Amino acid sequence: MLEIKNLQKVYGIPGVSAKPALNGVDLSVGQGELVGLFGENGAGKTTLLKCVLGLLGYAGTITLDGEPVTRANIARLSFATCEHSFFPHLTPAGHRDFYREHFPRWREKRFQALMDFFRLPMNKAPRSFSTGQKNQFEVILALSQGADYILMDEPFAGNDVFNREDFYKVLLGILEPTETVVLSTHLLEEVEHFVGRAVLLRGVSPEWILRAVTEEKCTIVWLLVPWAQDLLDAIDSGKVQLDSYLLDQWRLMHIGAQPVPPSLIKRWKQIFPHHQYDTNYGLSESIGPGCVHLGVENIHKVGAIGKPGYHWEARIVDEQWNEAPQGEIGELAVRGPGVMLCYYKNQEATDEILRDGWLYTGDMARMDEDGFIFLVDRKKDVVISGGENIYPVQIEDFLRKFDKIKDVAVIGLPEPRLGEIAAAIVELKEGEACTEEEINSFCRELPRYKRPRRVIFDKVPRNPTGKIEKPALREKYCRGRLVEAQISG
């Protein structure tokens, strides 16, 4: 933990020509965070970083894991600055040899990979580099030193936006979970997707979520289904102790990006009874979430995505685009001010999804008697077995009630007589053992045609937004060519 307490820095002579640069700054930065220091030029961003490195005198305290920053631990910090701190006459190969000798945690492979990525010459002195190349080399050294905390002061000032975008993409791709970046910049619009607020978690663990809520005093937390499941499992198993965190201010848990199992929310409310719950629904084609919204006052409709939002309309339609009877399953269509105009230069794809202002989402849903919409599944994920439509999400929600199951995905597998059958890929909780017979016994409460015909114990893959990667599962278990397999028998 890098901790800064009551940091004060004054330039000039106190009482004569003093100019305060920092006044009572408090900041705690844990390992694994991406922290943005934002402000106009002259706001004190560079001053703060130089104080951390001991390059400037200051009042207050700066510690690394409770110890002052000294020669003994300074190697845990690296610094990339637009002022450039490398040796201008020493080639990159010479820098590599120098760092290798003086920094035991020097990252040789990372250094070479970044040099190759930015196409920098190894045997040319950086004094002859262009400004962009100098900035790239400065950053490469900071990332390769082997530091726990990488401080960056306007690392690409003066460079074109494409140079900076390359840097952000590379940075997110190479950092390890324990590495921390503190990035000083006034270009907020360029890093808004790189850092969030002040802290952006890379990867997620229950401990990181709870620590962030505690340290940042979060009142509203947006989660994905697998994150919430992992957090509840960690609490149940004793891996995390809630009394070790300060969570009293946390009042609202929000989940989105995929169907939310009602059993998950009921379980959550048992552990966090004072939490409000909310969800909403949207697509990139409808300017993101918000066209359908549940609202915290509708907890009694848990499992629903809600009702159409302000100035939005929604309907459920059959295969002929006629409105389906209330309660029946059909495709969800939405219309409102956020619907896109078209897919750029792709009229064919546009015509498939837009009709008379309605956006056909590809999500199968139903609407209850009160107008609340419940997602059922993706249209392309529906399993058709012996002429019956089977909606995998309904089976997944049911199986998640089984206390040994951590996660589950249902896909269609080819079957000569029925066309396809429902197969459940089951991921068990850590330390649990289970048999296919137990799963089949648990599923007897389901209608016979909905019961999985095959049970596979395996890890359930999810993408960064928490959605189950069903194409990957189909590729793994039926080579992804379901229709071809059905035809060939």
65-113 residue pLDDT tens? 889 998 889 999 999 887 788 888 999 999 999 999 999 999 999 999 8
Q: Is the pLDDT of residue 197 over 70?
A: no
| Least confident range of 103-117, 246-260, 280-294, 473-487 | 473-487
Mean pLDDT for the stretch of residues 457-464: 86
- Give the residue with greater pLDDT, 409 vs 486: 409
Average pLDDT, rounded, for the chain: 84
Percent of the chain with pLDDT over 70: 87
Task: Note whether 216 and 199 are within 8 A (CB).
Answer: yes
Lateral strand order in the sheet of 149-153: 77-81, 149-153, 180-185, 33-38, 199-201
- Give the residue with greater pLDDT, 357 vs 256: 357
- Give the residue with greater pLDDT, 361 vs 85: 361
pTM exceeds 0.75: no
CATH number for the domain running over 382-488: 3.30.300.30
Q: Is the pLDDT of residue 159 over 80?
A: no
Task: Note whether 420 and 383 are within 8 A (CB).
Answer: yes
Q: Where are the domains of the chain?
A: 2-201, 204-278, 304-379, 382-488
Nearest to 329 by CA among 363, 362, 366: 366
474's CB contacts (< 8 A; 6+ apart) are 411, 412, 480, 482
Backbone angles phi, psi at 64, to 5 degrees: -115, 110
- Give the residue with greater pLDDT, 297 vs 387: 297
Q: Which fold has domain 2-201?
A: Rossmann fold (3.40.50)
Q: Is the pLDDT of residue 193 over 60?
A: no
The amino acid at 250 = W
Cα–chain center distance at 130: 35
Q: Long-range contacts: 110-113, Cβ < 8 Å, 24+?
A: 110/143, 110/144, 110/174, 111/140, 111/141, 111/144, 113/174
- Note the pLDDT of residue 204: 67
Mean pLDDT for the stretch of residues 115-134: 88
The amino acid at 301 = K
Confidence of residue 489 (pLDDT cuts 50, 70, 90): very low
First to last CA, the chain: 60
| Least confident range of 12-26, 266-280, 302-316, 423-437 | 12-26
CATH number for the domain running over 304-379: 2.30.38.10
| Least confident range of 178-192, 356-370, 474-488 | 474-488
Q: How far apart are CA 91 and CA 485, in angstroms?
A: 59
- Note the pLDDT of residue 229: 87
Q: Are domains 2-201 and 204-278 of this chain identical in fold?
A: yes
- Give the residue with greater pLDDT, 249 vs 287: 249
- Note the pLDDT of residue 39: 62
Q: Is the pLDDT of residue 309 over 60?
A: yes
Mean pLDDT for the stretch of residues 437-454: 93
pLDDT tens sequence across 316-329:
999 888 999 999 99
Cα–chain center distance at 379: 25
Q: Is the pLDDT of residue 216 over 70?
A: yes
Task: Classify domain 204-278 at the CATH class level.
Answer: alpha beta
- Note the pLDDT of residue 167: 67
